[in-house]
């Protein structure tokens, strides 16, 4: 979703994208060169992504692989000033890529956008597709990916700009302003795919390309631009909270997944964040 949004707003996400799959008929914004080379890197570390095994010790690239990674980075840098790639398996190979980026002296121009989706929905979706035998395998796999990702990030210290976003919030149209500020872009928001989530209807209306006769939305529209913006945010938060009740996730911080204080929930029942995360997010 974000890769497509960036690609249609001036950030080249690749030249040759992965073919669409039945579960994602609109296709992917995943450049084949990076995907395929990530697979090769992982093979070098004795790991096959499609085995869905939650055990992996990490990869140390051979000098040859390091050179290939650096040449890929250079090749794409020559074709576009603003470019990027998306491939979830980069979580497992991030250290190799950051080394390569360092070698071609582009570390100072590098930004990382990290979009986290709820563990439960990732596990469910892998389970539904028959990739994993149990939800607990999905949970282990999820934690393994994030452990490697955090390790890869630590290697390059706090100097690297990293934007952490939640997939579920983006679907609600939240946090796009943070994405814009981080990338220095004004985003045309039509690339958010409403078929991914029912809240997409609201996102279309917010950007002015949709129409609805639902009374609560008419009230919001009639309330003026400013009021609309604030009310929309509240409505989205309440809707999000109700969905989390249905998913039995209500009361857990969507950012760090620790339980939110009861006193805080009594004051702002729709809050998706614990006090600590709310402070960090507000400060950003």
**Contacting positions for Zn ion (CB under 5 A):** 253, 255-256, 274, 277
CB 178 within 8 A of CB 169: no
Q: Between 69 and 253, whose beta carbon lies closer to Zn ion?
A: 253
CB of 47 to Zn ion, least distance (A): 31
Q: Between 67 and 256, whose beta carbon lies closer to Zn ion?
A: 256
Burial class (CB in 10 A: 0-12, 13-18, 19+), 230: exposed
CB of 273 to Zn ion, least distance (A): 5
Cβ atoms < 10 Å from Cβ of 92: 25
CB of 277 to Zn ion, least distance (A): 3
Max distance between CA atoms of the chain, in angstroms, equals 63
CB of 166 to Zn ion, least distance (A): 11
For residue 60, what are the CA distances in angstroms to 51, 111, 148?
20, 22, 12
Angle at 102 between CA 182 and CA 88, to 5 degrees: 60
CB of 184 to Zn ion, least distance (A): 27
Q: Between 115 and 274, whose beta carbon lies closer to Zn ion?
A: 274
Nearest partner of 174 among 198, 216, 203, 196, judged by Cα: 203
Q: Between 169 and 189, whose beta carbon lies closer to Zn ion?
A: 169
Site of tokens 């603003």: 82
CB of 220 to Zn ion, least distance (A): 29
Q: Between 65 and 255, whose beta carbon lies closer to Zn ion?
A: 255
CB of 230 to Zn ion, least distance (A): 23
Q: Between 101 and 277, whose beta carbon lies closer to Zn ion?
A: 277
Q: From CA 32, how far away is CA 86, in angstroms rounded?
A: 10
Burial class (CB in 10 A: 0-12, 13-18, 19+), 141: buried
Angle between helices 90-103 and 32-44 (to 10 degrees): 100
Q: Between 68 and 277, whose beta carbon lies closer to Zn ion?
A: 277
Q: From CA 30, how far away is CA 86, in angstroms rounded?
A: 5
Q: Which residues pair with 17 in a beta bridge?
A: 31
Nearest partner of 210 among 190, 230, 183, 180, judged by Cα: 190
């Amino acid at each position: 979703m974000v890769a497509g949004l960036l690609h249609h707003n001036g950030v080249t996400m690749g030249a040759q994208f992965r073919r669409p799959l039945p579960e994602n008929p609109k296709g992917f914004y995943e450049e084949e060169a990076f995907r395929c080379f990530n697979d090769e890197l992982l093979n070098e570390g004795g790991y096959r992504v499609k085995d869905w095994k939650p055990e992996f010790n990490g990869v140390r690239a051979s000098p040859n692989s390091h050179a290939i990674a650096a040449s890929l980075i250079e090749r794409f840098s020559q074709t576009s000033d603003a470019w990027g790639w998306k491939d979830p398996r980069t979580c497992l190979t991030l250290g190799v890529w950051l080394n390569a980026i360092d070698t071609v002296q582009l570390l100072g121009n590098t930004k990382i956008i990290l979009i986290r989706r709820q563990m439960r929905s990732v596990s469910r979706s892998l389970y539904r597709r028959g990739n994993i035998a149990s939800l607990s395998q999905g949970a282990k796999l999820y934690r393994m990916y994030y452990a490697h990702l955090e390790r890869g990030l630590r290697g390059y210290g706090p100097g690297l700009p990293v934007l952490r976003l939640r997939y579920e919030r983006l679907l609600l149209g939240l946090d796009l302003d943070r994405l814009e500020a981080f990338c220095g872009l004004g985003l045309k928001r039509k690339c958010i795919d409403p078929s991914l989530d029912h809240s997409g209807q609201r996102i279309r209306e917010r950007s002015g390309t949709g129409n609805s006769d639902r009374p609560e939305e008419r009230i919001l529209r009639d309330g003026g631009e400013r009021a609309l913006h604030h009310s929309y945010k509240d409505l989205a938060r309440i809707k999000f909270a109700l969905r989390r009740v249905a998913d039995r996730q209500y009361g857990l911080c969507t950012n760090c997944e620790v339980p939110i204080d009861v006193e805080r929930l009594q004051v702002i029942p729709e809050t998706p964040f614990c006090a600590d995360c709310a402070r960090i997010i507000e400060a950003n």
